[in-house]
Amino acid sequence: MASDKHFDEVTGTETTGHVWDGDLRELNKPLPKWWLYVLYACIVWSIGYWAVYPAWPTMSDYTKGYWNYSQRAAVTQEVADAKAAQDKYRVALSQTPLADVGKNPELLQFALAGGQATFGENCAACHGRGAQGGVGYPNLNDDDWIWGGQLDNIQQTISYGIRSGHAKTRDSAMPRFGLDGALDAAKIGDVANYVRSLSGLEADKTAAGRGAAVFAENCAVCHGADGKGNQELGAPNLTDGIWLYGNGQENVVTSISTGRGGIMPAWDARLDPVSVKMLAVYVHSLGGGK
Ligand code: HEC
Ligand code: HEC
């Protein structure tokens, strides 16, 4: 190794003075200045970062840093803020009569969103995610209501249920004409034909003619002389082509025979009043408010 100043002949660059094997020399090519400054800046930055933020694990904990920052605390704070914002609306909702919720666009928006979320959690299992219903579970999107589609009808249905066993439940039920022997199979067949004819379905005309008398005598008291139903009694409109239990002759015969007696649970003990209110507003908005 020699240490005299020396320039490489080929490139003209100064060498470091290190020599191996007699004439193998190392060019002196220092790192570019900008690169070094970036490196120094990074070091300074990391020391600063290390000092103010949590950085270093210790045996039982970690260094908290000068700012004492914690992501968990930040999230907790955000959740608390969101809850405070919600509480504001919840309080407003609890003080606003059901009928007036729609007059305040901001409140309405909150109620619809809250109602939709609550619906997904509690009601979709039976009524479907889009409230489209299924056999035995009414579609809540159409404006055909068994028990009434005004806001307060809907709120009552949701709060106390239908044949739910709740003290205030909606509980009128159709008699089990076949099971209880009130009508024989022939009469049930006749009246089923008549009922199907009411909504324009193909039916045996003679049977339907006989069925009309059976209907007037046994069914009109609830479903109305014209078969258009009665929401006070939860007796569906039989003329509108919307069927809860299917429109085949077999389906209709079964409905008349068994009375069906669908059950909708009561929610007043499971959901708070504001949630029920939001649900009522949401469900009402689906069905066009009729
Ligand atoms: C266990 C199944 C079930 C669940 C869960 C359920 N429902 Fe129902 N719901 C029914 C049935 C069955 C009926 C029809 C009862 C009948 O025969 O009149 C009904 C009827 C209704 C009606 C009356 C429809 C009309 O045409 O008058 C409304 C409104 C309603 N449900 C809303 C809800 C809401 C809101 C929830 C969630 C909080 C919910 N339901 C949860 C089964 C259910
Ligand atoms: C006491 C009142 C009452 C009487 C009387 C009554 N119904 Fe009903 N009917 C109802 C109710 C309530 C329902 C709804 C049952 C349910 O939702 O589970 C219903 C449902 C039906 C359905 C099913 C409708 C659908 O959309 O699927 C048919 C069909 C029907 N009734 C026909 C008759 C016929 C025919 C008679 C006479 C033989 C009759 N009902 C007598 C109350 C009555």
Taking CB atoms within 8 Å and a gap of at least 24, the contacts of 145-150 are 145/231, 145/287, 145/290, 146/229, 146/231, 146/234, 146/235, 146/236, 146/244, 147/231, 147/234, 148/231, 149/284, 149/287, 149/288, 149/289, 149/290, 150/284, 150/289
Mutate to test the pocket of ligand 2, among 127, 199, 255 (most ligand atoms within 8 A of CB): 255
Report, as an integer, the average pLDDT of 102-122: 96
As a whole number, the mean pLDDT across the chain is: 94
For ligand 1, whether the C-beta of 282 sits within 6 Å is no
Q: pLDDT digit string (tens) for 62-98?
A: 988 999 899 999 999 999 999 998 999 999 999 999 9
Mutate to test the pocket of ligand 1, among 135, 160, 230, 264 (most ligand atoms within 8 A of CB): 264
73 within 8 A of 66, measured Cβ to Cβ: no
Q: pLDDT digit string (tens) for 246-265?
A: 999 999 999 999 999 999 99
Rg (alpha carbons) of the chain, rounded to whole number: 39
What is the per-residue pLDDT for 288?
Answer: 62
- Residue 8's pLDDT band (cuts 50, 70, 90): confident
Report, as an integer, the average pLDDT of 14-42: 91
Residue type, 110: F
Smallest-distance ligand from the CA of 235 = 2
Mutate to test the pocket of ligand 2, among 137, 157, 174 (most ligand atoms within 8 A of CB): 174
Q: Is the pLDDT of residue 114 over 80?
A: yes
Q: pLDDT digit string (tens) for 139-165?
A: 999 989 999 999 999 999 999 999 999
Q: Is 144 left (phi over 0), alpha (psi -120 to 50) or beta?
A: beta
Smallest-distance ligand from the CA of 198 = 2
Q: Ligand 1, closest atom to CA 148?
A: 27
Q: How far apart are CA 101 and CA 98, in angstroms?
A: 6
284 within 8 A of 159, measured Cβ to Cβ: no
| Closest alpha carbon to 191 in 216, 158, 162 | 216
Smallest-distance ligand from the CA of 245 = 2
| Closest alpha carbon to 188 in 160, 162, 215 | 215
Task: Tokens 């191996």: give the residue.
Answer: 20
Task: Tokens 């619906």: give the residue.
Answer: 119
Within 8 A by CB and 6+ apart from 197, the residues are 203, 205, 208
Residue type, 161: G
